């Protein structure tokens, strides 16, 4: 009988954010939205080199984990970064990347070999 391993909530959350950001188009969407002074009203495919169906799929993945919010307002859709989720993702990734204490484990290798 196989044993099912469960991960803690922190590990699951980091993985969900990493998965959502694992495609360059989604990273481009996040960079674009982060560069806006206010929420963006319009079609993201007009400002990024992506087809409408492709944009829709990527926005859906970002919405699923809560990194962005989108709502239809008349003829336009309003897109914003969800600041609460963005702060949580930043904090989780900041902590994740500082957790390694092995400063000399690979000291015999050049960085490009790693």
pLDDT score for 53:
86
Which spans in the chain are helix H?
9-20, 24-35, 52-64, 83-98
Q: In angstroms, rounded to a whole number, what is the distance separating the alpha carbons of residues 94 and 110?
A: 25
pLDDT digits (tens, 9 = 90+) for 6-57: 899 999 999 999 999 999 999 999 999 999 988 888 778 888 888 888 888 9
Mean pLDDT computed over 54-62: 91
CA distances from 57 to 50, 63, 66 (A): 11, 10, 14
Q: Which CATH class is domain 9-96?
A: mainly alpha
Cβ–Cβ under 8 Å, residues 11 and 46:
no
Locate the domains of the chain by residue range: 9-96
Cβ–Cβ under 8 Å, residues 81 and 68:
yes
Model pTM score: 0.78
Contacts of 84 (CB under 8 A, 6+ apart): 66
pLDDT digits (tens, 9 = 90+) for 83-110: 999 999 999 999 888 866 666 666 555 5
């Amino acid at each position: 009988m196989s044993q099912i391993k469960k991960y803690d909530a922190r590990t699951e959350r980091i993985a969900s954010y990493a998965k959502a950001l694992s495609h360059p188009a989604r990273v481009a969407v996040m960079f674009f939205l982060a560069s806006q002074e206010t929420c963006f009203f319009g079609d993201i495919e007009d400002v990024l080199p992506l087809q409408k169906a492709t944009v829709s799929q990527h926005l859906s993945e970002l919405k699923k984990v809560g990194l962005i919010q989108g709502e239809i307002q008349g003829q336009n859709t309003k897109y914003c970064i969800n600041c609460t989720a963005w702060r949580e993702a930043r904090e989780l990734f900041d902590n994740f990347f500082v957790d390694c204490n092995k400063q000399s484990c690979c000291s015999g290798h050049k960085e490009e070999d790693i």
